[in-house]
Amino acid sequence: MNHSLQEKIEKLTGSIHKTNILDEQGWTSEVRRIFTGDRSYLLKSSYKEKYREWLKEEAQVLKKLSGNPEISVPEYCGFIEEKDGDHLIMSFEDGMSLTAALAKAASDTERKSLLRSFGRFLHEFHEKEPLDIFKSEGDWLQDQLLKAQYYAENGQCDGSLSLLENLKADRPSPVKQTMIHGDCTADNVFVVDGEVRMFIDVAGMTVGDPRYDESLAIRKFMDNTEYVTAFYEGYTWYRVTKEEFQYFDEGLYEFF
């Protein structure tokens, strides 16, 4: 961290005593824990255009949710834009991602309990009345397809233009829109005391198609029938069909 950036951060956090690069790193950002005199913070830094855009969106979502107890996310503390990179400061939360918790679990029973908790947490989120700050007149899926086209045309994703044309031609039947996380993988929910209790990496949080969240939620254990069953013991809202899962996880997610 250069001196100029440290000075900007300290205006928001107070004097920094030390920083640690965290073992659990995302694909899109460099993540550090910052220690000050009385608390610690999480610093996320992104340097590529696409990921800087996502980081800025995450900052905007966290700022919108400041002081709102209905949705559990880290506390927004500040956002710094520089020429070569952007930096988001938020509260540091004790716990770990669901991915890490599943890897650390001592038994299948413990893993199933975690997945059941994940299902409940996501179900409760999808049942919430959409917050006015996220409501939009637009069509969420259409917006995603437009973003996907931009990323594909500019070589910023794994998805191809031919796959995109198939997605445009074979859109699933519409369903009631709900609050969605927008990247609801096991990496992006936080476990505290054995329960999924918080969303992290919330750049895509908005009102949209809940089947996208659901498909990403089960993607890592889709081939394990017992794990899928445990998730759905918690998530009783709706069960995606094979075709819906393929559309959202194996199709749309290729662009994000």
Model pLDDT, residue 28:
83
Burial class (CB in 10 A: 0-12, 13-18, 19+), 248: buried
Confidence at residue 161, expressed as pLDDT on a 0 to 100 scale: 97
Per-residue pLDDT at 206: 96
Listed in sequence order, the residues at least 6 apart from 158 whose beta carbon sits closer than 8 Å to its beta carbon are: 254, 255
Residues 80, 51: Cα–Cα separation, whole Å: 14
- The string of pLDDT tens digits covering residues 43-55 is 999 999 999 999 9
| Confidence (pLDDT) at 55 | 97
- What pLDDT is recorded for position 114? 98
End-to-end CA distance of the chain: 28
Mean pLDDT of 13-22: 93
Q: What is the mean pLDDT of residues 231-256?
A: 97
- In 3D space, the residue among 152, 250, 143, 118 whose CA is nearest the CA of residue 207 turns out to be 143
Burial class (CB in 10 A: 0-12, 13-18, 19+), 154: exposed
Amino acid 27: pLDDT = 74
Mean pLDDT of the chain: 95
Cβ neighbours of 188 (radius 10 Å): 22
Instruction: Say yes or no to pLDDT of 25 above 80.
Output: no
Residue 23 has pLDDT above 80, yes or no: no
Structure tokens at 224: 């394990």
| pLDDT score of 3 more than 90 | no
Phi, psi of 180 (to 5 degrees): -135, 155
pLDDT at 125 over 80: yes
Decide which of 193 and 25 is more confident.
193
Query: CA-to-CA distance for 61 and 44, rounded, in angstroms?
Result: 15
Tell me the pLDDT tens digit for each residue of 143-177. 999 999 999 999 999 999 999 999 999 999 999 99
**Pick from 198, 22, 9, 190: which is nearest to 87 by CA?**
9
Confidence at residue 2, expressed as pLDDT on a 0 to 100 scale: 85
Alpha-carbon gap, residue 100 to 105, rounded angstroms: 9
Alpha helices in the chain (DSSP H): 3-13, 49-64, 98-104, 108-127, 140-153, 161-169, 210-218, 225-234, 242-245
What is the spatial distance between Cα 192 and Cα 107, in angstroms, rounded to a whole number? 18
Mean pLDDT within 206-211? 97
- Residue 111: what pLDDT? 98
Q: Which of 27-31, 140-144, 176-180 has the lowest mean pLDDT?
A: 27-31
Half-sphere exposure of 128 (CA within 13 A, CB side): 21
Question: Across residues 181-187, what is the average pLDDT?
Answer: 97
Would you say residue 24 has pLDDT above 80?
no
pLDDT digits (tens, 9 = 90+) for 76-124: 999 999 999 999 999 999 999 999 999 999 999 999 999 999 999 999 9
For residue 110 the two structure tokens come to: 């413990």
Q: Which of 57, 42, 200, 63 is nearest to 121 (CA)?
A: 200
Question: 209 vs 132, 174, 204, 205, 216, CA distance in Å?
Answer: 17, 8, 12, 11, 12
More reliable by pLDDT, 154 or 24: 154
pLDDT at 137 over 80: no
Residue 138 has pLDDT above 90, yes or no: no
